[in-house]
Amino acid sequence: MPVHRQPGTVVTDHRFQVPLDHEEPEGEHIEIFAREVAPAGKDSDRLPWLLFLQGGPGNRAPRPLGRDGWLERALDDYRVLLLDQRGTGLSTPANRRTLPVRGDAAAQAEYLSHFRADAIVRDCEIVRRRLRGEDEPWSVLGQSFGGFCAVSYLSYAPRSLSEVLITGGLPGLRTAPEEVYRAAYPRIQRKNAAHYARYPDDVAAVRDIVRHLRDRPAELPGGGVLTPRAFQSLGLMLGSGTGSHTLHYLIEDAFVTGPAGRVLSDSFLTEAQGHLSFAGGPLYAVLHEATYGQKSVSAQGTRWAAETVRREFPAFDADIALDGDGPVLFTGESIHPWMFETDPALAPLREPAELLAQREEWPDLYDPDRLAHNEVPVAAAVYHDDMYVDTADSLRTARAIRGLRTWVTDEYEHDGLRVSGGRVLDRLVRMVRGEL
């Protein structure tokens, strides 16, 4: 096991073999990578373990730089395990380069069907037993999609958990995919209104950019295509604490004047590509709606729910906006079929993604009855009007999990864990211990 030292920490790399399909433990195995971070000087102590489950789906765990961010607070009390969930980071990768090895589109889709929260939880159980022993529980911290995984963990292996901390990640236990987006679009609309109130000059600037792209879609430096819809999807950043400001600075840098007149600047196109490309995390797009699929809720599958529901909200239609004089609205956390045409990182995965969208009877991810009888201490930060996770759904789930304590706040947006310098984590730790 490689061991490294960073400022204030000792970092140890771990690799584990787990079944691709946990229902077939003797079948094909894949590798799971995890990075242990212990406080320097205490790395030999018997500190309790805190497993961190990253947001996503399809994002690798954060790469630590010593005692930075929320780790500063976590390492006061815990030995932290940063897990690269299956298919991400240094775990066996699943992307356009590797998936063709599986075979045709149907084989790739079947392979990817094993990459949801239920499989991730069972991976965690193998890791826990290796690190802790058969009967020793550990603590779990879940951010966003990691919180979804934590609720699955509470549903199916609660005896393995000593406490659970969740930030911006209480899912609807019985919410159909279409309802997820019917609740999401009005929240996104409110984030747009707040952005344009903050930066009113962006109304005209965005209309100018979208009109330009409607006439002349732009090629991005990495080979993707920037269309009006792709540009609108930059609204994904509006759910973070600094996202509105970042978007504004991108917009103000859009045009330069060349020999042929006004053109989109290289800096604008390069930055836009950085926000739009799924090259670093294709599973986010491929599996995003699958995270909501449950046979007891939506037996017919997910079927591009975000695209279907978008038609119910004509305010997001750029052509309608340009025909009037109002703002063009940005969209948010939603995945659409056209993304698999405009992004080179996703184009080879278009057919598997379509098969996953049409897949029926996804296994249930949560057990409401077991959660109603929960005995594990749980504390959750619920961000007021969170753009990514519906607050009403989160609070319904909080009431459905016995003993769960919530902290509802508008001091932070969805990225509160990352940007709060440990304050969000500290409050949750104190809540779960009964100190608050």
- Look at residues 15, 6, 290 and name the one whose alpha carbon lies nearest to residue 131: 15
Tokens for 98?
Answer: 């590797």
386 tagged catalytic: yes
Instruction: Say if residues 140 and 164 touch (Cβ distance below 8 Å).
Output: yes
Question: Is residue 189 helix, strand or coil?
Answer: helix
What is the per-residue pLDDT for 258?
A: 87
- Which CATH number fits the domain 3-173+366-432, given the four candidates 3.40.50.1820, 3.40.47.10, 3.40.50.2300, 3.30.43.10? 3.40.50.1820
Tokens for 332?
Answer: 């948010």
What is the enclosing helix (H) or strand (E) of 229? helix 228-232
Please, where in the chain does CATH 3.40.50.1820 lie? 3-173+366-432
Rounded to whole angstroms, how far apart are CA atoms 294 and 172? 11
What is the enclosing helix (H) or strand (E) of 31? strand 29-39
CA distances to 107, 109, 117 from 27, in Å: 16, 18, 20
- Please identify which of the residues 118, 202, 343, 386 carries the catalytic annotation: 386
**Residues 6 or more apart in contact with residue 414 via CB below 8 angstroms:** 144, 168, 239, 240, 383, 386, 387, 388, 389
Tokens for 84?
Answer: 């690269």
- Please identify which of the residues 414, 415, 420, 426 carries the catalytic annotation: 414
Rounded to whole angstroms, how far apart are CA atoms 162 and 132? 12
Going residue by residue through the chain, which has 436 residues, state the pLDDT in tens, using 9 for 90 and above.
789 999 999 999 999 999 999 999 999 999 999 999 999 988 778 899 999 999 999 999 999 999 999 999 999 999 999 999 999 999 999 999 999 999 999 999 999 999 999 999 999 999 999 999 999 999 999 999 999 999 999 999 999 999 999 999 999 999 999 999 999 999 999 999 999 999 999 999 999 999 999 999 999 999 999 999 999 999 999 999 999 999 999 999 999 998 988 999 999 999 999 999 999 999 999 999 999 999 999 999 999 999 999 999 999 999 999 999 999 999 999 999 999 999 999 999 999 999 999 999 899 999 999 999 999 999 999 999 999 999 999 999 999 999 999 999 999 999 999 999 999 999 999 999 999 8
What is the enclosing helix (H) or strand (E) of 32? strand 29-39
What is the per-residue pLDDT for 260?
A: 84
φ/ψ of 123, rounded to 5, equals: -60, -45
- Please identify which of the residues 91, 113, 139, 144 carries the catalytic annotation: 144
What is the per-residue pLDDT for 261?
A: 87
Q: C-alpha dihedral over 70, 273, 314, 305, to 10 degrees?
A: -60
Rounded to whole angstroms, how far apart are CA atoms 334 and 284? 10
Rounded to whole angstroms, how far apart are CA atoms 23 and 42? 39
Tell me the per-residue pLDDT of 227-240, one tens digit each, with 9 for 90 and over.
999 999 999 999 99
Rounded to whole angstroms, how far apart are CA atoms 411 and 152? 28
What is the per-residue pLDDT for 147?
A: 98
384 tagged catalytic: no
